[in-house]
Amino acid sequence: LHARVTFGNVFALDSPVPYVSPYKIDGCLACEIDTACFDVPDNYVKFGNTQANRSAEKPPMTAESLAERREDRKQKLLMKYGYT
């Protein structure tokens, strides 16, 4: 797996990015990166221990369930840092 790190479009503010949800907490920018962003596509060749124990694939999430999960994570962050 290869990756390229850039510093443009931080927090997906310049243009939308799939699986990235920017938000603001008391004037501070933050974003949530959905775990689906890190899924390896099926057409990639996998090397190494291909017999490793893997969990079953999850069905795609609905827009409503994604929004609920984002809100839950946001509230947890707010509570963690004392903003609630």
Tell me the per-residue pLDDT of 23-67, one tens digit each, with 9 for 90 and over.
888 888 888 889 888 888 888 776 766 665 556 667 777 888 888
CA–CA distance, 37 with 75 (Å, rounded to integer) = 22
Instruction: Inform me whether the pLDDT recorded for 4 exceeds 70.
Output: yes
Let me know if residue 5 belongs to a domain: no
Let me know if residue 27 belongs to a domain: yes
How many domains is the chain partitioned into structurally?
1
* The dihedral sign for the CA sequence 54, 60, 66, 69: negative
Q: What's the domain range around 24?
A: 13-43
Average pLDDT over residues 57-80: 83
Confidence of residue 84 (pLDDT cuts 50, 70, 90): low
Residue 51 pLDDT: 60
Let me know if residue 25 belongs to a domain: yes
Q: Which residues contact 28 (CB under 8 A, 6 or more apart)?
A: none
Let me know if residue 22 belongs to a domain: yes
**Total-model pTM:** 0.43
